[in-house]
A and B are shown apart, each in its own frame.
Chain A
Amino acid sequence: MSHLTSRRGLLFGTAAVSAGALLTGCTSNEPKDEKPAADDKPADDKRGKEVTIGFAGPQADHGWLNAINDNAKSRARNYQDVTLEITEGSNDTATQIGQIETLINKKVDVLVVLPADGKALTQVGLKAMRAGIPVVNLDRVFNTPQAYRCWIGGDNYGMGLNAGHYIGEKLKGRSNAKVIELAGLDNLELTQQRTKGFDDALKNYPNIRKVARQAADFTVESGQAKMAQLLQAQPKFDAVWNHDDDQGVGALRAVEQAGRDDFLMVGGAGALSAFQAIKQDDGVLKATVLYPPTMAASAIDLARALGQGKGVGGLAEHEIPASITLYSAVVDKDNVEQYMSTGFR
């Protein structure tokens, strides 16, 4: 009996909240957003309806994740009408679920969630959506589209693809070219996707053969160790793709220690140290493929638009898209200056 009432209550509650959202959406007289998507400053954005955004991410124990938090915070600060409720990051699924439930209970207007584990946090995403709080799912995707209103994230397959094409073009005309791959943590699906993209791209270049692949685990220490072994295993090769710039610090160190400079290296993610090395152009690192942490800033933009019932500037629709996959641009010497400010430490 009580079970029934509570379910009914939930239903009514959800209906009421959705109706409310619909109502405010209809009565809103705010002009459509005019924020330039690629620009760093959303400054000319007019102050709109107050929006409280709840943000829950994993523990920032890696440069990229740290940059995610920074991007979200600084973007939110730029909007006078946005209040950001940010939780202490956690890698523990149970803890993160608890944190998101707390944000739901606080009745934030919109949730931005970068799950420690997308599949494991699907239920709490669903719960938020049912409670009438739209969820912007950042990067690691939930199991079902019902658990989010909008997904925005990077393209791991695209990273591999673009890295492969860049290397392919650089080695054009070189017969019997050898390429090696320093992958990230093999336990993660994203590593498999990056490798698949890389392999698929290389298929377009019959003169190139991938001769070795070893997986590090995104740490400097493992990058050094695995790259040192790869260098020993392959006395001669033409190019290496390293999945992650953080482990790339160690990989570059191994290259230096082995005294090798007879190949080109392409990195991944877009760390500041990598950008600087590319700019200086005095080592093997010639380019890196982005997995932009600015996606967190864009997620705040999307959450704000959701909270204010607007669409995205530059698109014709009245609502924000359901899914946005970011492009994994290749940054090399020619365009590195443009990306320098987005590099993470």
Chain B
Amino acid sequence: MTQPVSPPRDSTDKVPPVGQHLTWRDMMARADVRTLSLLGVLAVLVVIGGITKPDEFLDTRNLQLVLTQASVIGVVTVGMTFVITSGGIDLSVGAIVALASVWATTVATQEYGFGGILLTAVLVGLGCGLVNGLLIAYGAMVPFIATLAMLASARGLALQITDGRTQIVTIDGVLELGERDSYVLGVPPLVLVFAVVTVIGWLLLNRTTFGRRTVAVGGNPEAARLAGIDVRRQRLYLYLLSGLCCGIAAFLLIVLSGSGQNTNGNLYELDAIAAAIIGGTLLSGGRGTITGSVLGVLIFTTITNIFALNNLQSDVQQIAKGAIIVAAVLVQRRTASTT
């Protein structure tokens, strides 16, 4: 009754060879096609918005609104892009945003004013990132599990701090930052922060050793190690970076909503991962694009905006959102493979 057993598959034969024969120029060309197709999707959305609601959609105030709404999740997505590029994942971003926003808006923190709130938000983000990084890099925990654990505990701690209450910010300096009077040449300060984070992220990923190491660790950690990269330290830095981005995003959210609440950052992890993947970052690591991620975020925010302006209800919004994600990825793959 012995049945023929198929020979055990060699687990290594699916792994791409270490030295992929791709020139720098090839990679740039590919990235460009991806970026162009994303811009195409965005252009189609703008046309749809412009046709359905010309007055409300094609309006400076609406542009300001869309970019402002994109800035919080945008900053988180930049950090997430680095982590995913390195072959990791950070499921705890939403929870870290919640914890940082809550910790930075307690009565005690608010006594220290603007600086106290900003510093606390950033430090809490960094602290959570540090724990994630240590667990993953030096505790040899799988990123999925380590950050899932962080998600649970950070949310729990946020709930414990607030007791489920909404902590209202009373510092005028913080509140004013979200209002029209503080726009710089028509650009909201939140959007400026988003822009600065994006530019720094792009430079860091594309123009520095840190960025090349990130890609190398994601592409093939063993090869990276043999090439002399301290893979563990690199991973630690990456989760610290993601935590830092969450801290900054938490501060932006405090400015935007004028409060801290333990429900903040709900499902940010999914939004950030979706935006990065749509943007062209490989979920398995080894390839990442900040430009793509930011375009991914803008596509999502624009969709939400068009839906709201056209008064579509949640059910329709959710169905359409799912369909558009699939369509965007398909279009992108088609255009990427035909060149």
Interface residues of chain A, those whose CB is within 8 Å of chain B, are: 59-63, 65-66, 186-187, 211-215, 217-226, 228-230, 232-233, 235, 246, 249-250, 253, 256-259, 271, 273, 345
Contact = CB atoms under 8 A, between A and B. Distances in A.
B11 interface: no
A257 B257 CA distance: 10
Interface in B158-176: 159, 163-166, 168
A219 B261 contact: yes
A233 to B, nearest CB: 4
B315 A186 contact: yes
A220 B105 CA distance: 14
Interface stretch (B142-150, B191-199, B306-314): B306-314
A345 B165 contact: yes
Interface stretch (B29-37, B61-69, B233-241): B61-69
B56 A273 contact: no
Given A224-B257, A235-B56, A59 B263 contact: no
> Is the contact region of chain A dominated by helix, strand, or loop, or is it mixed?
helix
Nearest to A235: B56
Given A229-B305, A257-B180, 12 more contacts: A63-B166, A66-B163, A212-B311, A219-B261, A219-B266, A221-B257, A221-B263, A224-B256, A233-B53, A235-B56, A249-B259, A271-B166
B56 A232 contact: yes
A251 to B, nearest CB: 10
Contact of A221 (B168, B180, B261, B315): B261
A61 B164 contact: yes
B314 A232 contact: no
Interface in B287-339: 304-305, 308-311, 313-315
B132 to A, nearest CB: 23
A40 to B, nearest CB: 21
Nearest to B188: A257
B311 A225 contact: no
Nearest to A62: B164
Interface string B232-256: 0000000000000000000001001
B279 interface: no
B256 A253 contact: yes
Interface residues of B, number: 38
A228 to B, nearest CB: 6
Nearest to A230: B308
Given A214-B308, A232-B61, A232-B309, A60 B263 contact: no
B314 A215 contact: yes
B166 A220 contact: yes
Contact of B178 (A214, A223, A253): A253
B259 A229 contact: no
B180 A259 contact: yes
Question: Which of B59, B69, B159, B263 neighbours the largest number of chain A CB atoms within 10 Å of its CB?
Answer: B263
Nearest to A248: B166
Contacts of A258: 61, 180
Contacts of B127: none
Contact of B166 (A187, A228, A246): A246
A253 to B, nearest CB: 4
Given A220-B166, A256-B179, A62 B69 contact: no
B258 interface: yes
Contacts of B179: 256-257, 259
A236 to B, nearest CB: 11
Contacts of B311: 211-214, 233
A235 B57 CA distance: 12
Contacts of A273: 166, 168
B115 to A, nearest CB: 22
29 contacts: A60-B164, A61-B262, A62-B164, A66-B163, A66-B164, A66-B165, A213-B313, A214-B311, A218-B263, A219-B266, A220-B261, A220-B264, A222-B266, A224-B257, A228-B65, A228-B68, A229-B305, A232-B56, A232-B61, A232-B305, A233-B53, A233-B308, A235-B55, A246-B166, A246-B261, A249-B258, A249-B259, A250-B258, A258-B180
A257 B190 CA distance: 13
Contact of A233 (B56, B164, B258, B263): B56
B65 A253 contact: no
